[in-house]
Structure 1
Amino acid sequence: MSLSKTKSQRLALNPQALHQAALIQYRPGIDGLRAVAVISVIVFHINPSYLAGGFLGVDIFFVISGYLITLLLAKDIANTGRLNLVDFYRRRIQRIFPALLFMLVATLLVGYFMLVPKDYAALSKSALWSLFSAANIYFFSSIDTGYFATGSEELPLLHLWSLGIEEQFYILWPFIVWLLVKWVKSTTSRLVIVSVVLVASLLSAQLFLHSHQSFTYYMLPTRAWELMAGGLVALMVFANIGLNKQCSQVAAGLGAVGIALSLALVSKNDDVPGLAAIPVVLGSALVLMSGDKTFIGRFLSLKPIVAIGLVSYSAYLWHWPILAFLRYALVKVDVPIMAGVMVATFTMASLSYFCVEQPLRKRKTSQKNIFVWYFSVPVVMIATLSVLMIHLISVKNPALYDWKSYRAVNADTRAAFAYDFNCQYDDFSVGALTLAGCVFPEGRRPTVLLVGDSHAAHYLGMLRVFAQRYGFTLRNATQSACPLLLDAGKLNWINKKYTHGCAIYRDAVKSELSKYDTVIMGGTWNTYDQSGKKAFRLKLKDTVSILSGQVKNVIILANIPIISDYNKECQIRSVKMPHLQCEKRHLRHGKTAPINRYLSGLSKTYPNVHYFDIRDQLCKDDTCSPYFNDIPVYFNSTHLTMAGSQGIGEKMLKDNDPGLSIFEKIGRVPQQAN
């Protein structure tokens, strides 16, 4: 970037000002690095299998932001001797808010026509929090991470968590930079102070990563070190600490390798933002430190790459809502759709950049007008609209939605865990084996025990129907993600979140077996079979042997057909989007699962062990559907709803299904059907 003669002469009279001006000289390589970050993020969000570590693009953005803002702050403080917060936040508002507000308004408008009430209320809340740079706090406190948690890929504003972290960081960071530049004269001391705080943030991220995963991912204290890494480089450049030509080439090369390997090899299951994020953060810092004259710097400065980097902020804003709305409409993001997403993203990004972001950023206006018209007025208007919509939805305003249809469909698609009589636990409570509410019909001594995980619990609707019909009393006590494998020792292959409860559960059930005549067991057999491999089948066989020797009857519940592309929300969303044609979307072709064939064979080994499968109710030949009598009976791809389970049971009784003979056998008072 060349300086005009007048400006050059003016700066020549002030060597310090000339030095500071050079520090913030435009570097196209930084926009090139932004391009790498945004493309990585978009590709990952389209399909993680394309680029496992693409989500680390956000971490690259953090390092770049920390570098540029710290350099700018240090320059201002050195030139003026003071911290001008008003001007600093004026620049932040002018840079961030026009494009953000444009995207928010468009997203709220599209969401109004697509989203069902609960989802639009959630969108309005997230928009409200985003306006005040607190989206990360909202999503940390609101996203469900439980066993049956739905995916977050349909939340249109989820990506704004990163902006929340940045803006919260810049509430405190200017004061720290001011203290460092103004009062800490030693460059070494400045770098040591920042490094100590950086390491503390990194260690806290690693320490709490597994015990407080959501907090670690979404909140500032455990993300600050990534921004500070960029700030550390900025303070070094500010102090005129640089690398010679050879060292710059090596540093840039190492940085590029660190970034590339991280994007390719790190996955969302690794320790991010902990130790696994160090290579990409360090790599980004090295690329920034080495400048644009290296081979890597010249590559990143190529015009096509820089062009992407220039619109990277707007592209980041737009790509996620586009993907979220597509997925909400149950569109499968395959290769052709991926190309469309890319085109749509960069079309909207260019429109936002050239028509909104740049004109308003460059427009000469007073600080007062910027705070009023760029921030206060639009924020108040959007916030008011969001609050109004949240209120109208909460009071079920009839102008917004067909509430009668919504209630009817929502009742049909409730999961088994939503019912109090389903005693299913994430961390098992031994009380489930004594609570009266876990028995049906209540008030009688239970003779039948239902055990297993959620794939046992979702049979509860039909088992209650059978109990009522055949006169047996049923207790249910299940533990999420826990196979009932007795005397199996530690199970290293089950979800660690449920390991503790699973161990308690298996011991508790074993001690209670003598109280029951019949044990009905269900499980995510297919998943356990894949995770536990041959050892699982051996342990399952041992467990069945133990049970058959201790109780009169054992009933093994089969896995229902897996319908991988099923989404229970389709029926609810079809009230607003009738074109979804839910009944036609989820047919599949497939044969009986291998694990079910194994279970059927295993049951024939013992005279008192029986196999129960409802496949014939859900499938005709090899075509299966999550709809039963035109009503959705699946909660997700592998679980029944409680209403669906009950409906299937009632239909089996009406048809005198031969598979019910075992339940008639264990009944105490067989009755005739009405």
Structure 2
Amino acid sequence: MLALPRPVPASSYRPDIDGLRAVAVLAVIAYHIGVPGLAGGFVGVDIFFVISGYLISGLLQQELLQHGKVRFAAFFARRIRRLGPALLLVTLCTLLAGYVLLLPDAANSLGREARAVVTLSANHHFLSHAFDYFNAATDLKPLLHTWSLAVEEQYYLVWPLLMMAAWRWGQGSLRVVRGTLAAVLLGSFLLCLYLSWHNLPQAFYLMPTRAWEFAAGGLLALAPATRWRSEGALALLLGLAGAALTFGCILLFDERRMVFPGWIASLPVLGALLLIVAGELSPRNVVSRLLASPLLTALGLLSYSWYLWHQPLLALGRSYGVGERELTRDLLLGGGLSLLLAWLTYCLLEQPIRQRRPAPFALDKSTLWAGLAMSLAVWLAGTVDMYLPARHPWPGQQRILQLKADGPQTPPGCGMARDGTPLASAASCRIGSAMAPLRLLAWGDSHSDHSLPMYQALAQSQGIAMLRRVYHGCPPLPDAVPVGEGKVRSWCLNHSRAVWQEVEQLAGKGLNGVLMNVRWNGYTALPVPGSLAITGLAAVDAQGRPQLSGPLLAGSGMLDRPHSLQVLHASLDKLAGELGRLRLKLVLLAPEPEFRLSVPECIVRRGAAACNISRQQVEAQRRDIMAILRQVAATHRNVRLWDAIDRFCDAGSCFASDGELVRYQDQNHLSASMARTLAGDFAASFVWASQR
């Protein structure tokens, strides 16, 4: 492996930069694997951006000096030869493996990810569908890492045009080009700072907020050539400073306690710049010599393929492992197997295409057509993966799919508007007896939906109708708003306030009570099984503005656990009082147990006994919420608390199944069969709430 062929002539080769690539890829892969002590490994992507900006801007400068223009066909043909074949191979293999290993919904998502990859929009796709890069759900997204490739290619669709325009406007002056790049750096950095405090996912994923990192490397490449002198002492000093910054960030950064990217992203960027400068000043300094060691340069040459292979292997392995991280398995897949595949890809695919130029890649024009053909092939394969598994699932998944299909039947036409409003028509959201009077409101999040089979059975037996007002991921609180994944969920507040206005209108028209089953822990800054992210709860003023100071970082500051619980208590207590003023009753359903693993997959792949959890763990997890619910129920005469915990647990354990009855669809949503069995226990509370 140490004798890998180099992609450029020896005279212009910088082994220390390949060594820096190795540091970056090792940091990222270790972070994704979950190697202890390397919590800041995600900054490897920032280092890659700096290196890319330095190298590509240097190549574009050479073109301007030699030809007076940027040869766009040649530029993009080089990018296709460099990136396309390996990306095609990895993506097609991932789609094929996804069909075998993933459930249809996950395979559908993977197909959409693949289509976003080849349209250079993966960062926008994951911004819309993954939100926070740092949440646990991203562990299961095989193509998540391609967001950085999309950012890079989007930048290089724009930067050559800007560079040539500046060159011509300045009549061949590199000073104007440098000024343009400096303006890009400043504008992008300011936008990054702003969005890091106002919409963190956008700051992380979008090209305009990351362009300053490429621009920093580009400015270094375009700096006047006379700046460099062979000063060993200065090179060593800069190299040591760069190494301290780079490795300090990898070792000490922790996304749970910082706003990233923000200003703090400038530290790994500066570290990478200093290491590149040190190697330029004097390649003989000890830091640059270490980076240029045979092992690191070999890993640097493999870095692109290694980066491509590691995330699909990790995500697919974790998906099959019921969504769980397991260090030994992840090291073997994301470290060992992905490195072997990277070496094979580099030697058998990447280098032969770049060096020997087979027919489709022989000329720039034919390479562009080959790139289009590769993109079309992946797009079509992604489309197949979106639909084939749902119609013809892999045979070994039938039992899991059967269990997961045991869910509530929601009223057709009773959907959730993107902005929370307008509410679906009341007629399309009724359950129970078709022509019966409306007596109850089921108001909450997805946990209200998993109680629908129980509500439906009781409503029909009592001869009444209910109104479903549910928005997944949103608590039914008109005076509080969840904040998570770096942004305010304003749609939740819009929905809750619209429902409250409807409640005030219905109070005098026969509505007697409200039933609330809500996953309160999901909004009070507590990491719980199956959560997409940590989400805090903020109070709002009369205009709906969140009462916050500081960044939108759930789990810290005013969005930490104590503050979120305080906001929950105050808002729920106020809502209970307002319902009492309207002479409406409120039944609060206590939180059901939540499981560490998705129950259907766990039962099929590990056996039911491996899926159970201790009652002590469940009680500890819901202790704070139960204290609030009990206080609200004790304070207001119109409120009752119903707790079914003894139907799930004995004194020692809480059970994922009861013989043939599997109780959950995933980690925390009840199966419809289980919900229906609770109807007898809940009947007294249901009748109490439905009557005056």
Deviations 1:349-404 (A, max 9, x none): 22222333334433366796365887745863783475267359748897775699
2:520 aligns to what?
A: 525
Equivalent position amino acid for 2:295 in 1: P
User: Counterparts in 2 of 1:376-455, with a 5 A limit?
Assistant: 376=369, 380=373, 383-384=376-377, 387=380, 390=383, 394=387, 409=402, 412=405, 414=407, 419-420=411-412, 428-429=420-421, 431=423, 435-440=426-431, 441-455=433-447
Deviation, structure 1 residue 329: 0.7
339, 345, 357: which is aligned to 1:346?
339
Aligned with 1:565 (options 597, 611, 620): 597
Aligned residue runs from structure 1 range 437-586, under 5 A:
437-440=428-431, 441-478=433-470, 483=475, 496-498=488-490, 500-501=493-494, 504=497, 508=501, 511=504, 515=508, 516-527=511-522, 531-532=561-562, 535=566, 539=570, 551=583, 553-566=585-598, 570=601, 580=605, 583=608, 586=611
- How far is 1:193 from its partner? 2.0
Deviation at 1:195, TM superposition (A): 0.4
Matches of 2:455 and 2:148, distance apart in 1 = 47
In the other structure, the counterpart of 1:38 is 25
Task: Confirm or deny that 1:308 pairs with 2:299.
Answer: yes
Question: Shift in Å at residue 104 of structure 1?
Answer: 3.0
CA deviations 1:126-165 (Å, max 9, x no partner) are: 4455346454455456x2659xx99343332232232233
SS at 2:13 equivalent = coil
Q: Is the Cα contact below 8 Å between 1:78 and 1:181 reproduced in 2?
A: no
Taking structure 1 as the reference length, the TM-score comes to: 0.78
Deviations 1:170-210 (A, max 9, x none): 33433444455675555544322210122222333444557
Aligned equivalent of 1:161 = 147
Question: In the alignment, is residue 662 of structure 1 matched against residue 685 of structure 2?
Answer: yes
Instruction: Kindly state the Cα deviation for residue 229 of structure 1 after the two structures are TM-superposed.
Output: 1.5
The change in CA–CA distance for 1:66 and 1:667 in structure 2 (over 3 A counts) is closer
Deviates more, 1:519-528 or 1:236-245: 236-245
**Mapping for residues 30-109 of structure 1, pairs under 5 Å:** 30-47=17-34, 50-109=37-96
Amino acid at match of 1:361: R
Deviations, residues 114-134 of structure 1 (Å, cap 9, x unaligned)? 234454454445445534645
| C-alpha contact 1:28 1:300 (8 A) present in aligned 2 | yes
1:320 aligns with 2:285: no
Distance apart, 1:339 and its partner CA? 2.6
Q: Which moved more, 1:599-608 or 1:326-335?
A: 599-608
CA distance in 2, matches of 1:343, 1:558: 46
Alpha carbons of 1:492 and 1:179: their partners in 2 closer, same or farther (altered >3 Å)? Answer: closer
Q: Do the aligned residues in 1 keep the contact of 2:242 with 2:272 (CA within 8 Å)?
A: yes
**Residue 220 of structure 1 aligns to a residue in which SS?**
coil
* Distance of 2:413 and 2:257 partners within structure 1: 35
Q: CA deviation at 1:473?
A: 3.6
Paired amino acid for 1:167? E
The equivalent residue for 1:16 is none
Contact in 2 for aligned 1:513/1:550 (Cα 8 Å): no
Indicate conservation of the 8 Å contact 1:70/1:235, yes or no: yes
Indicate conservation of the 8 Å contact 1:618/1:624, yes or no. Answer: yes
- Over the matched positions of the two proteins, sequence identity in percent amounts to 27
Identify the residue that residue 610 of structure 1 maps to in structure 2: 640
Native 8 Å contact 1:525 1:595 kept in 2: no
In the alignment, the residues of structure 2 paired with residue 381 and residue 413 of structure 1 have an alpha-carbon distance, to the nearest angstrom, of: 40
Which deviations, in whole Å up to 9, do the C-alpha atoms of 1:58-88 show, x marking residues without a partner? 1211110111122123234324545444443
Return the match for 1:362 from 355, 363, 386: 355
Distance 2:285 2:457 in 1: 74
Distance 2:271 2:459 in 1: 64
Question: 2:376, 2:581 → 1: CA distance?
Answer: 65
Question: Residues 293 and 512 from structure 1, CA distance in 2 versus in 1: closer, same or farther, beyond 3 angstroms?
Answer: farther
What's the C-alpha RMSD, in Å, of the aligned pairs?
4.4
Provide the rounded CA distance (Å) in 1 between the counterparts of 2:419 and 2:84: 44
- Tell me which amino acid in the other structure corresponds to 2:348: C
CA distance in 2, matches of 1:468, 1:119: 35
Question: How far, CA to CA, are the matches of 2:273 and 2:577 in structure 1?
Answer: 60
Distance 1:443 1:257, change over 3 A: farther
**Larger deviation, residues 403-412 vs 437-446:** 403-412
Q: Are positions 1:196 and 2:189 aligned together?
A: no
Note if contact 1:553-1:609 (Cα within 8 Å) is conserved in structure 2: yes
Q: Among residues 639, 647, 660, which one is paired with 2:669 in the alignment? A: 639
Check the 8 A contact 1:519/1:554 in 2, yes or no.
Answer: yes
Alpha-carbon contact 2:127-2:202 (below 8 Å) kept: yes
Letter of the structure 2 residue corresponding to residue 282 of structure 1 = L
Is 2:97 the partner of 1:110?
yes
1:25 corresponding residue in structure 2: 12
Q: Relative to structure 1, is the Cα distance of residues 193 and 462 closer, same or farther in structure 2, using a 3 angstrom cutoff?
A: same
Q: Give 1:30 shift.
A: 0.9
Q: Distance in 1 between matches of 2:115 and 2:357?
A: 29
Q: Work out the CA distance in 2 between the residues paired with 1:197 and 1:208.
A: 16
TM-score (norm. length: structure 2): 0.76
What are the Cα deviations for residues 492-526 of structure 1, in whole angstroms up to 9, with x where unaligned? 87873247437736964885695443333333334
- 1: CA distance between counterparts of 2:650 and 2:520? 23
Distance 2:644 2:364 in 1: 64
Q: CA deviation at 1:555?
A: 2.0
| Distance in 2 (alpha carbons) for counterparts of 1:179 and 1:207 | 28
Instruction: Report the counterpart of residue 14 of structure 1 in structure 2.
Output: none
Q: Hey, what's the Cα distance between the residues in 2 that align with 1:435 and 1:419?
A: 11
- What secondary structure, in the 3-state scheme, does the structure 2 residue paired with 1:477 have? strand
Partner residue of 1:590?
Answer: 615
Distance 2:345 2:386 in 1: 31
Residue 40 (structure 1) shift: 1.5
Q: Are the aligned partners of 1:415 and 1:635 in contact in 2 as well (CA < 8 Å)?
A: no
Structure 1 segment 149-298 matched on structure 2, within 5 A: 151-178=137-164, 183=170, 186-208=173-195, 216-236=203-223, 238=225, 240=227, 245-263=232-250, 264-267=252-255, 271-291=259-279, 292-298=283-289
- Given that 2:417 and 2:423 are in contact with CA atoms closer than 8 Å, whether structure 1 keeps it comes out as no
Query: Using a 3 Å threshold, how does the CA distance of structure 1 residues 334 and 450 change in structure 2: closer, same or farther?
Result: same
The offset of 1:560, in angstroms, is 0.7
Q: Give the corresponding residue for 1:330.
A: 321
- CA gap of 1:447–1:134, structure 2 versus 1, over 3 A, is closer
Instruction: Provide the rounded CA distance (Å) in 1 between the counterparts of 2:566 and 2:60.
Output: 61
Q: Secondary structure at the match of 1:619?
A: coil
How many residues align? The count is: 628
Please, which moves more after superposition, 406-415 or 111-120? 406-415
AA at the equivalent of 1:524: R
CA contact (8 A) 2:111 2:384 kept: no
Looking at structure 2, the residues matched to 422 and 620 of structure 1 have their Cα atoms a distance apart, in angstroms, of 37
Letter in 2 for 1:383: L
Contact 2:453-2:676 at 8 Å conserved across structures = no
Alignment partner of 2:676: what SS? Answer: helix
| Aligned twin of 2:676 | 650
**2:612 partner amino acid:** L
